[in-house]
Amino acid sequence: MLKLYPIPEEVKKCNHFSIKINGQPVGVYSCLVSAVPFNTPWPGHQRPVDQAEEASFIYFDTDETVTVELEANKDFSDIRIRPLSKNIQPEVSGRNIKFSAGVGQYTVELDGHHNALHIFINSIKNYDIDINDKNVIYFGAGVHRPGVIELKSNQTLFVDAGAVVHASIRSEDCENIKILGHGIIDYETFERHDPLIWGYDGLTNFVRCKNVTVDGVILKDSSWWTITAVNCENVLIDNAKAIGMWRYNSDGFDMVNSSNIIIRNCFLRTFDDSIVFKGLKIFENGKNLGYDTKNVENHLVENCVIWCDWGRSLEIGAETCADEYVNIKYKNCDLIHNESVALDIQNGDRANVHNVSYENINVEYSKYENRGKIQENDDQKYKPRNEILPANLLFADMYVGVWSKDMIYGHTHDISYKNITVYMDEEVPMPFTQFKGGTPENWAENITIENLVINGKKITDLSEINYKEHEFSRNIVLK
């Protein structure tokens, strides 16, 4: 079975591709993404749109493998369908492209990553929602402009396939909240406040909530973080797609001093950091609200596809204001673009970061990438470098610095990397791997790397990779 959904008439379409799924034409959504890796220092402000470019996406539901037929609006010589781990080999004839795909998320990139097509294939799902229930906020096919939606306990926001809802979602001190459906929640009509307002700016904000589910929706064009959860417990984010993040500091999912988080089957293309576990001191009227008394623990990220245009793909920190970060697992993820760091631990505060594992992670590096730069003033223009600079693959840093609030060194230990597979274009230099402690009492230690494979070759000695040894790191084991 195949379910296609028409694009509402007033929504902007993209003409980069003409597309058929199993021979049926499908409309192509337009979105903005970052054109250049050029970010401004925190706390940022509204980014000029001339630093963005048009990209496209489609979505549909199926319970079978489908045939995707594309006709590009330009000639090309190089095509990549990512994730590369899926090993999709298209048939290409002139501007015509044909391939088969099942449920999942994919990108089609012609002669590099600019103006890419993003394909979101959902499984057919019956959410079993009674749209007449008083606790259900329902949006059907078409365009809707409700503005700010404040979800209360036991409420469900259902965004059906074919719907585009221009909204900001907020919830505080609530439980049993759900955001469901295969439609789009779009933040493009909202400007970012200057200075930024915590809990208000950004597409979705949960504060001190329990039992939160976000399932199936497409989240588009947030002004900074896309989903923010502060002091929350029991959060499930399943098959959410974040796209159109081009503005300064537009992270993906930032989980702040929260516990029991599951993020699975998601796609994130973000300008700034993609999936982040933070510990923060948040102040109101000069008073610390005490969020940092809650540990960051018991998190699982699995089966996700990540495209990070600027920052760090899977990140701990940089702020780690909590006593402990513990039991954090990343599994079966594809990191298809990694501008700065792929697997990142930044321990900038007092936290004891331990029992963190990365397993079956695929990391891709493209010859078309440019390393990011900081924009020091609004008049400065981005100038690409004339060389491909190495990024970071496995990275753990400990410091007291610009992002620190405790001004106390923490501890990073018992970290494991298993079955890390790297796909690199030949032109790309070896990425860095480094683990940094802070003082003779604050170490990065007991770190195991098992079965690291780069372009088909298993790494058997740290000298084979761009490994940087640091003082105050010890017991780094490669096997």
Render 58-105 in DSSP notation, one character per residue. EEEEESS-EEEEEEESS--S-EEEE-GGG----EEETTEEEEEE-SEE
User: What mean pLDDT comes out for the span 117-142?
Assistant: 96
Q: How far apart, in whole angstroms, are the C-alpha atoms of residue 435 and residue 443?
A: 9
Check residue 371 and give its pLDDT: 85
What pLDDT score does 123 carry? 97
Dist. CA 93–CA 210, nearest whole Å: 52
Pairing of strands 117-123, 163-172: unpaired
State the pLDDT at residue 248: 92
Is the pLDDT score of 326 beyond 90?
A: yes
Residue 265 has pLDDT above 90, yes or no: yes
Distance from the Cα of residue 418 to its chain's centroid: 21
Q: Residue 352 pLDDT more than 90?
A: yes
What value does the mean pLDDT take over residues 164-176? 97
Cis peptide before 25 (omega within 30 of 0): no
Does residue 477 have a pLDDT over 90?
Answer: yes
pLDDT at 42: 83
Strand partners, 242: 219, 268
Mean pLDDT of 77-91: 98
Higher-pLDDT residue of 107 and 369 is 107
Mean pLDDT value across residues 412-430: 96
Q: Across the chain, what does the average pLDDT equal? A: 96
Percentage with pLDDT > 70 across the chain: 100
- Report the pLDDT value the prediction gives residue 155, as an integer from 0 to 100: 98
Return the pLDDT at 269: 98
- CB contact burial 129-153 (16+ within 10 A = b; e otherwise): eeeeeeeebbbeeeebeeeebebee
Would you say residue 44 has pLDDT above 90?
Answer: no
In Å, how far are 213, 219, 291, 302, 419 from 229, measured between CA atoms?
12, 15, 11, 18, 30
Minimum mean pLDDT among 16-20, 88-92, 140-144, 284-288: which range? 284-288
Mean pLDDT calculated for residue range 412-423: 98
pLDDT tens-digit profile of 10-40?
999 999 999 999 999 999 999 999 999 999 9
Per-residue pLDDT at 207: 96
Concatenated DSSP letters of 231-252? S-EEEEEES-EEE---STT--S
- Where b means 16+ CB within 10 Å and e means fewer, 272-288 reads bbbbbbbbbbbeeeeee
| pLDDT value, residue 283 | 85
SS3 189: coil
Compute the average pLDDT of residues 108-117.
Answer: 97
What is the pTM (predicted TM-score) of this model? 0.97
201-255: per-residue pLDDT in tens? 999 999 999 999 999 999 999 999 999 999 999 999 999 999 999 999 999 999 9
The mean per-residue pLDDT over the stretch 112-140 comes to 96
Least confident of 156-165, 370-379, 458-467: 370-379
Give mean pLDDT, residues 369-375.
88
For residue 12, the number of C-alpha atoms closer than 13 Å in the C-beta half-sphere is 10
Least confident of 32-41, 50-59, 387-396, 424-433: 387-396
Residue 282: pLDDT band by 50, 70, 90 thresholds?
A: confident
pLDDT-above-90 percentage for the chain: 90
